[in-house]
């Protein structure tokens, strides 16, 4: 079964880690999305790669089998907020890591205006100031679904929320 303290690796690193253009692209994405290390970026790249691989496999299936499984993949990506409602398998083939990074809790908190910078958003999440539907979430890499996006706010007992309510009075 394996040791429960050593979970399976969730990412695949680059084949050639020292190519200049890959390093520059990774550094730009790390700064733009406030990532702690490249492993967080590689996890997003792996998620996008798995969805693209699944879409390619679906294109090879017969028509009636493909329709059923295609709906499942597209609805999952729509629910996650990565693709719009009328998306097709061709749109899934165009997925990048940036699509996944936009759905991280850290990015959504920053874009909602709850934090001044992307790094402050990460700190608020890690310190337990952010909640989704009243439930504290302390993982900046949490992928936010479309339904949860409106429910993101400060945790009710957070000193930051209390300070904001005092300022509004």
Domain boundary (45, 65, 97) is at 97
Q: Rounded to an integer, what distance in angstroms lies between the CA atom of residue 16 and that of residue 167?
A: 52
Is the domain of 50 the same as that of 86? yes
Residue 9: pLDDT band with limits 50, 70, 90: confident
Token pair of 122, please?
């990460």
Q: Which two tokens stand for residue 116?
A: 């001044």
- 37 and 57 housed in the same domain: yes
pLDDT score for 4: 79
Is pLDDT of 168 > 70?
yes
Q: Is residue 28 part of a domain?
A: yes
Which of 97, 128, 159 is the last residue before a domain boundary?
97
Three state DSSP letters for 46-104:
HHHHHHHHHHHHHHCCCHHHHHHHHHHHHHHHHHHCCCCCCCCHHHHHCCCHHHHHCCE
Domain for residue 120, yes or no?
yes
Q: In this structure, are 62 and 86 located in the same domain?
A: yes
pLDDT tens figures, 13-36: 999 989 999 999 999 999 999 999
Domain assignment present for residue 74? The answer is: yes
Domain extent for 141: 105-168
Site of tokens 């909602």: 112
33 in Cβ contact with 101 (< 8 Å): yes
Does residue 169 have a pLDDT over 80?
A: no
pLDDT of residue 8: 84
Which among 97, 127, 160 is the end of a domain?
Answer: 97
Q: Would you say residue 153 lies in a domain?
A: yes
pLDDT computed for residue 2 by the predictor: 67
In this structure, is residue 5 part of a structural domain? no
pLDDT at 1 over 80: no
Count of the separate structural domains present in the chain: 2
36 shares its domain with 63: yes
pLDDT computed for residue 17 by the predictor: 85
Average model confidence (pLDDT) for the chain? 94
What pLDDT is attached to residue 3?
A: 78
Give yes or no for residue 37 having a pLDDT over 70: yes
How far is residue 56's CA from residue 50's CA, in Å, rounded to a whole number?
Answer: 10
Does residue 55 sit in the same domain as residue 28? Answer: yes
In a domain? residue 3 = no
Q: Tens digits of per-residue pLDDT, 134-156?
A: 999 999 999 999 999 999 999 99
């Amino acid at each position: 079964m394996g040791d429960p303290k050593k979970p399976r690796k969730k990412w695949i690193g680059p084949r050639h880690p020292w190519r200049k253009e890959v390093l520059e692209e990774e550094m730009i994405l790390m700064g733009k999305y406030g990532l702690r290390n490249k492993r967080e970026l590689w996890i997003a790249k792996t998620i996008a790669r798995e969805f693209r691989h699944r879409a390619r496999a679906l294109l090879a299936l017969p028509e009636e089998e493909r329709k059923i499984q295609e709906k499942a993949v597209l609805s999952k990506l729509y629910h996650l907020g990565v693709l719009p409602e009328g998306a097709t398998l061709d749109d899934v083939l165009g997925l990048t890591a940036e699509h996944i990074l936009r759905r991280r809790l850290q990015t959504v908190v920053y874009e909602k205006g709850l934090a001044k910078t992307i790094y402050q958003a990460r700190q608020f999440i890690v310190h337990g100031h952010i909640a989704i539907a009243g439930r504290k979430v302390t993982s900046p890499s949490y992928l936010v679904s479309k339904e949860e996006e409106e429910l993101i706010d400060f945790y009710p007992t957070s000193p930051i929320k209390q300070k904001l309510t005092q300022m509004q009075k």
